[in-house]
Structure 1
């Protein structure tokens, strides 16, 4: 019988799977960048476009900065960037391979960076959706409001919960991917399921390699399924004015965003993008 090692992303405990500390991708940032290459820095360029169109100031906090690629690109463009992440491995990699920004350890579900004040908070690649509960979402938005100067911007990109209302195309068939890193072929099979009670999109991913000595690794994680009007309500309740709320174009849409494209008016596809401004009065 094949032995499968199981790991669980913090906060996404799966019944029956004994959590093992760590996560294959977040513990190996170079592997993460090989699996999710972004040579054109599309996510950072889309973010910069949002900031420019809405006259965002130079002080930027990149929450869930991961390997630091986007933070470093924004920094190279002249912004004063702080990257924050919960993974020390990611932060170490960012400081070494993507220098320029300040990198700090912080949990986006509730953070306090002291006297630091920012003109924009950026939260890309569904990082916001690791806030699985209402309390976690409140903690995120309260922390963002405290960190932002009056009139500051919140720019976020995530999966769209509305897409899964009646659609099963992303759920029906497991997705297989493969890539080569350091001469070894890494394969993954990803299965998505909807937990309607918890309002979560759960992901199970099984990793294998050509190295016969390495057993398969099974990992579990989940994203909160937020709906456009739910997100609008949450932002308004926390003192934000929603400037944009749309499904595309964006860095992970098809076709992807390119310079000069303006946001659409729909919020029906798989991705959701939001730009909101902190009210100038408390």
Structure 2
């Protein structure tokens, strides 16, 4: 059994497993940017295959897509033209002071900041990169969803999809690392050919709404929206800032914050 990340090492396979042909995530992001009057310059941090960055480019934005994966960046440059693509680390990056009007961080990318220092590094980098009054738009797993809930935990889930004539099967198990405040995932991939199974390990920080507000305030951000609901790759209409509740029930957490003007 080998270890690796089958999907992120093979971007075309990633897009086949998580299709978004209608560019719903990019449309949701553009909807929030327009609603809050963001300028044209956008940084898509953790851009992956570049499809959301390219969608924002087609909406008239000047977009830079950043990721740590060279495989993802190569795929984005080849298949999602328009944005500029650069390699950058989520935990700390410098792409120019006041170079952007908005930083976008989708698909729980922000939750790869596993420690407080890493989260501080990300938010300090956003503060450096944003023009005064710039926006941070993020979408991620909602840590509060797992308070008292076990329906997604300790229970292997089997899934399969077929791409280019090959069937890929996965067995996924989620566990809570309470001491580290992480949601850990173990996923084992098998295919119909003679390839050995591939085991993938990943983890996300479980951030709670008030905790996230505290970090944002410490870095000079004012929260404009923070609410739960379905992810932006689902069917619109998407959740608005007026969604009921205190971000405790939905699986996904939606954030829009503005950098204070000095």
8 A Cα contact 2:97 2:130, kept in partner = no
1:13 paired residue number: none
Q: Which residue of 1 aligns with 2:2?
A: 5
- Residue 270 of structure 1 aligns with which residue? 251
Match of 2:179 in 1: 197
User: 1-side partners of 2:167 and 2:100: how far apart?
Assistant: 42
Match of 1:151 in 2: 133
Query: What is the CA distance between 1:175 and its match in structure 2?
Result: 1.5
Give 1:103's aligned residue: 85
1:30, distance to aligned residue in structure 2 (A): 0.2
Write out aligned runs for 1:165-244 (5 A).
165-211=147-193, 213-244=194-225
Q: Does 1:120 align with 2:106?
A: no
> How far, CA to CA, are the matches of 1:203 and 1:260 in structure 2?
27
Aligned residues of 2:42 and 2:64 also touching (Cα < 8 A): yes
Instruction: Look up the match of 2:51.
Output: 69
Distance 1:277 1:116 in 2: 14
State the TM-score, normalizing by the size of structure 2: 0.96
Contact 1:60 1:82 in 2 (8 A): yes
* Structure 2: stretches of 5+ with no match in the other structure: none
Aligned pair 1:258/2:239, yes or no? no
Q: Is the 8 A contact 1:247 1:272 kept in 2?
A: yes
What corresponds to 1:14 in structure 2? none
State the 4+ residue runs in structure 1 displaced beyond 3 angstroms. Answer: none
RMSD of aligned alpha carbons = 1.3
Select between 177-186 and 142-151 the one with higher mean Cα deviation: 177-186
Cα deviation, residue 262, structure 1? 2.6
CA separation of 1:243/1:78 partners in 2, compared to 1, >3 Å: closer, same or farther?
same
| Displacement after TM superposition at 1:184 (Å) | 0.4
Q: TM-score, normalised by structure 1?
A: 0.89
Unaligned runs of 5+ in 1: 8-22
